Amino acid sequence: MNRAPWLWAILFALWLVLSWHFTGLFLFFGVVTCSIAVFVVARMGVLDRESLPVHLAWRAVTYVPWLVWEIFKSNVRVARIILSPRIRVDPSIVHFQASQRTDLGRFIYANSITLTPGTVTTGIVGDDFEVHAIVQEEIDGSEENIMNRRVARLEGEAG
Amino acid sequence: MFAVSAAAVLVCMVLVMLRAVLGPTAYDRVLALNNIGTKTVVLIAVLGFVNGRPDFLDLALAYALINFIGTIAVLKYIEYGDLGVSAPRETGTE
Amino acid sequence: MMGGIVNAVVWVLLISGGFFMVTGALGMVRLPDVFTRMHAAGMVDTMGAGLTLAGLCIYSLHDGAGLVAVRLVLVLAFLWFTSPIATHAVAKAALSGGTTPYTTHGDGEREGRDRP
């Protein structure tokens, strides 16, 4: 799949939203700017499945709301720890194997882990994740497992 | 009602600034600065609504960009003492 | 009638966003070391900013300023894309810079787990 038209369309939509002027001159500037940007990106050779994962877009429609709900729940848990009169934390660093096959899938999983408060990805080597958790239960729970499987499904068969 | 929100953001900025001043390690300070940057983005957005002219949102967008790049640059400087070096290649993915 | 409901929703979103933000800032001051403080910083970046900007977004949608709402969504999306990368960078730099994570029992790492 050729990704250059996708990138161009996304950039031009961004231009339209941020400028909101529909005179000929501004549209002309937008077309020129987006074309230069796409040309530079293509020349750098970074226009591939990893930098522009449009093939994940329709599966992300169900993943993102679920992730927001998870973020909300873990926010409430961390808030309870912080607001308790005596801070009770039991932080630890754990290692585990993630089941994603591609670097993009691991990237999404690592960022999802970091985005939920209570767990931060501190390093990845291969499929070995190193995660810092503020309390042991944050990483022990079945929710990390569910997230792992969800990201593996988001990544899809095409991998 | 937006003034209440702006006040909350300002209180947070004072608290986090305390951490940036106290912070025992340099990483505490970088983390605090990054956090203040995030709060500044929110503050710019909220202040636009307080004034009834939400035209500053482009500034908030640009500030979010600069905040991110600035944090990465400071961290790189702390780690390598130079902005020109590239990280040594490791096996596997980062 | 409609305006009252929207106003109430905006109030709730702004207040809860402010609550999470103040709690996160309090955590930045109270928690013991840089790694645990990162979790508090994550709270500010996700729910604090998220709920506040969502409140503003609903307000401007009701105001008929759809363009402002789209820009707010862009700001939020950008924050949520960059904040985990910045947090991860701080964590990785702190680890390789020789900061030992605070633990309640003294030894640095806890091994022996293969799957969450």
Summarised one tens digit per residue, pLDDT across range B29-39 is 999 999 999 99
Cα A18 to Cα A37: distance, rounded to the nearest angstrom: 16
Crossing angle, helix C34-43 and helix B26-50, to 10 degrees?
Answer: 10
Evaluate whether residue B62 is within a structural domain.
Answer: yes
Give chain B's largest Cα–Cα span: 53
Encoded tokens for C100: 């030992």
Q: Note whether C74 and B64 are within 8 A (CB).
A: no
Per-residue pLDDT of chain C (116 residues; tens, 9 = 90+): 678 888 999 999 999 999 999 999 999 988 888 888 999 998 898 999 999 999 999 998 888 878 888 889 999 999 999 999 999 999 988 888 877 788 776 544 444 333 33
Encoded tokens for C59: 């307000």
For B57, nearest residue in chain A (alpha carbons): A18
Chain A residues whose C-beta sits inside 8 Å of any chain C C-beta: 14, 17-18, 20, 68, 71-72, 75, 78-79, 82-83, 87, 89-97, 110-112, 114-123, 131-132, 134, 139-141, 144-145, 148
User: One-letter amino acid identity for A143?
Assistant: E
Cα A87 to Cα A81: distance, rounded to the nearest angstrom: 6
CB-based contact, B86 to chain A, within 8 Å? no
Evaluate whether residue A49 is within a structural domain.
Answer: no
Q: Quote the number of domains for chain A.
A: 2
Contacts of A134 in chain C (CB under 8 A): 36, 39
Cβ burial of B52 (10 Å; 0-12, 13-18, 19+) is exposed
Encoded tokens for C35: 């790694």
Summarised one tens digit per residue, pLDDT across range A3-57 is 888 889 999 999 998 888 889 999 999 999 999 999 998 888 887 777 777 777 7
Question: Cα distance from A40 to chain C (closest Cα, Å)?
Answer: 22
Residues A108 and A59 in one domain: yes
Going across the sheet that includes A128-133, the strands are A92-97, A128-133, A119-125
Residues A13 and A86 in one domain: no
Contacts of A124 in chain B (CB under 8 A): 92-94
pLDDT score, position C110 = 42
pLDDT score, position C19 = 93
Evaluate whether residue B27 is within a structural domain.
Answer: yes
Evaluate whether residue B91 is within a structural domain.
Answer: no
> For A87, left (φ over 0), alpha (ψ -120 to 50), or beta?
beta
Residue for token digits 């754990």? A94
Evaluate whether residue B88 is within a structural domain.
Answer: no
User: One-letter amino acid identity for B52?
Assistant: G
CB-based contact, C65 to chain A, within 8 Å? no
Q: How many residues would you count in chain C?
A: 116
Cα C46 to Cα A77: distance, rounded to the nearest angstrom: 14
SS3 call for C29: helix
Residue for token digits 């030992």? C100
Evaluate whether residue B34 is within a structural domain.
Answer: yes
Question: A156 vs C67, which has greater pLDDT?
Answer: C67
Contacts of B61 in chain A (CB under 8 A): 18
For C34, nearest residue in chain B (alpha carbons): B28
The domain in which residue A18 lies consists of: 4-44
Evaluate whether residue A82 is within a structural domain.
Answer: yes
Crossing angle, helix C2-30 and helix B2-22, to 10 degrees?
Answer: 10
Summarised one tens digit per residue, pLDDT across range B42-85 is 999 999 888 888 778 888 889 999 999 999 999 888 888 777 77
Evaluate whether residue A110 is within a structural domain.
Answer: yes
Evaluate whether residue B94 is within a structural domain.
Answer: no
The domain in which residue B69 lies consists of: 2-80
Residues A90 and A139 in one domain: yes
DSSP structure class, residue C47: I
Q: Calculate Rg over the CA atoms of chain C.
A: 19
Residues 6+ apart with CB under 8 A from C110: A92, A93, A94
CB contact under 8 A, A124 and B93: yes
Tell me if ipTM is over 0.90: no
